[in-house]
Chain A
Amino acid sequence: MEFLCIGLSHRTAPLGVRERLALPEARQVELLQRLAQSPNEAFLVSTCNRVELYMAAPDMNRVRESAREELQQLGGPDALEHLYEHRGEDALVHLFRVAASLDSMVLGEAQILGQVKEAFEKGQGVGAVRGELTRVCAAAFGCAKRVRTETAIGRAATSMASAAVSLASKVFDGLKDKTVLLVGAGEMAELAARHLKQAGATKLLVANRTLARAEALAAEVGATARPYEELFTLLTAADVVVCSTASPVPIFTKENVGAVGKARKHRTLFMVDLAVPRDIAPEVGELDWVHAYDVDDIQKFVAENAAARAEEAQKAGVLVAQEVARFVRDRAVRNGVPVLAQLRQRGESIARAEVERTLAAIGDGLTDKQRKSVEAMARAIVNKLLHEPTARLRSVGPEHEGNRLAGAAAELFGLEEAAPPTGAGGPNVVANGGKG
């Protein structure tokens, strides 16, 4: 099985392209089902900052082509130029880094791990993730946990939501007497609400299409839920607006925000859009009294502050490298063992066949003791011959030697057609889970 990561992120693609690739759930499932026909596996990480397909397949070239085609169809002709690919071990490193929040817009933000986990579970749910990617993800999640506990990266940074609150503090002199309106009641809204509260905001309103969800969030964070129909009345009273809905079209446009300007006496309005696709049309920021920021603006802001976290990120990078190496080593051992078993099986069957032929040729001229001696000798020769290769294969070194050796052994002894070790993988004995 070979690994591939193909996708785009805030590093390579502008918001417009990412918006096109932000697929609704049903289409994500269809995509996964098309790409992950057995023995292939796949899952899709789709957040506002990245859309990435992680795949494991025995014949990666074919799968890669179809993945690229799918992404191009969804994201338009210019999507291809924003795509990046990581193969083999590089794909593993990338996934580990993403899960550990080292590739996030806000280094160290905790949300991404939950999002990757969700993507993995979704893949499992539709049968697109089976043995190989399950093991990869388990290792990636373990690594993320280690990064979080062993470095200060999670403490230094928090999330897009906290960056948004920092931005608000450049417009307003404290949030204590400000009215904050949360549009959307998802995880992002919850995070934003917590940060806003921490920053001193006391008057929080939640508006969501489903009132019940708004009420649930309001109860959880100490806000007030309001009917979505009142949105523009609420906008008149609000000083800070945080949007994070799944709306496919902008909720706030220059026209409808501009219309409340007079009613609010053009009081300063700070709007943050944490959603992709955007909830706030870019032109809204042209209004004199509105300061509107979207996810890319926040990324820019975060990038300016990133230097402080660079050191922790470096430490985390070392941890990721260690964890990837360990995973690759474990995988090699796992994949190496069936080669050993097959090798032993092959040796023993040859020994048995030769003993039988020899004994048949000799006829009844041998005593039971002599027969047993012949059998023992045949086994001993096989054992002696296989002793060294067995020891070598078992003591696979850290540099994926095991995998190469397993492959070499399989080829030398003609084991290519061997059955996979588990139901999930393909012919792994020659797989290059190491360098792709």
Chain B
Amino acid sequence: MNHALVSLACHAYVVAALVYLVYLVRQMDALATGGRVLVGTGLALHAVALVGLFGAQGGRPVGVAQGFSTFAFLLLTIFLVVDVCYRKPVIGAFITPLAVAVLMPGLLLDPGHVMSPDVQRPLLPVHITIALLGVAASAVATGVAVMYLLMERQVKGKRFGLLFSRLPSLEFLDTLNRRLAVLGFIALSVTLVTGAFFSSAAPGFFWTWTSKQIATLVAWAVFAALVGARSFGGWRGRRVALLTMTGFCLLLVSFLSSYDFIHVGGGAH
């Protein structure tokens, strides 16, 4: 049932991605509205499925398939908020395909093996959800950074083609990137703090030099540097966009190393 709902949501996202890509070429308001409605519908279905799943699992995603699914859900939720706030539907052409790509493993990996793992820890659902929110925020920030780099190429290279006429202004993309990076940074900070609590609660495992911990810490450092350099060093534009992408790649490593791929679905978080 839940799997069917996620599959249905995925169909909605795929159609939304196509609609947004068409919007990139032919800017019609109806397409923007259509994309928004499709994403909204998909998210509603997706939410029902996730609530159903998590209810039985102590309020958190378990296993890599659900991890990807939740990641995609949060990613599109952030996008929808951005879309409603700023009314720049063209961002959808870059974010929705990314969300579909993220959701695919969630659908294709076998969810059958998922079982409620070890002991219940009260902070775990918060830790995981916020960690995923951080990854999702940095994913959207990366999408926006890609848009920035593309637009900067057009503006600098004086290429006045389709992208030039469709993409939002450099300043808008830079500001949006900043806001998303701040969101990502806060989420990551909370993740680290709750993670520390959570690890120290398990005897003898405060810092274990796992690839996940290292990648998360380095990613946090990158985002901290990014937010700091912006606020105090006046950094902006391309450098920040590239840093955002670096931070996201590190987070992706951290995210993937949270799961034991050999025993799909068997990982803790």
Contacts and interface: CB of A to CB of B under 8 A. Distances in A.
Interface of A: 169-173, 265-268, 285, 288-289, 291, 293, 297, 300-301, 304
B160 A304 contact: yes
Given A265-B234, A268-B236, A289-B237, A170 B158 contact: no
Interface stretch (B93-101, B170-178, B185-193): B170-178
B175 A173 contact: yes
Interface in B227-245: 234, 236-238
Given A300-B160, A301-B160, A304-B161, A171 B234 contact: no
A288 B158 CA distance: 14
B169 A171 contact: yes
Contacts of B234: 265-267
A268 B170 contact: yes
A297 B164 CA distance: 14
B168 A173 contact: yes
Listed from nearest, the 5 A-B pairs whose CB atoms lie closest are A265-B234, A173-B172, A304-B160, A173-B171, A173-B169
Contacts of A172: 169-171
A131 to B, nearest CB: 46
B151 interface: yes
Interface string B57-88: 00000000000000000000000000000000
Q: How large is the interface on B (under 10, 10 to 19, 20 to 34, 35 or more residues)?
A: 20 to 34
A161 to B, nearest CB: 17
A171 B156 contact: no
B201 interface: no
Nearest to A303: B160
B171 A268 contact: yes
Contact of B169 (A169, A265, A289): A169
For B158, B172, B234, which residue has the most chain A Cβ atoms within 10 angstroms? Answer: B158
Contacts of B160: 300-301, 304
B155 interface: yes
A193 to B, nearest CB: 21
Interface in B89-109: none
B57 to A, nearest CB: 43
Interface in B132-177: 151, 154-156, 158, 160-161, 164-165, 167-172, 175
Counting chain A CB atoms within 10 Å of each CB, which of B155, B156, B171, B172 scores highest?
B171
Nearest to A304: B160
Contact of A291 (B155, B164, B238): B155
Contacts of A171: 155, 169-171
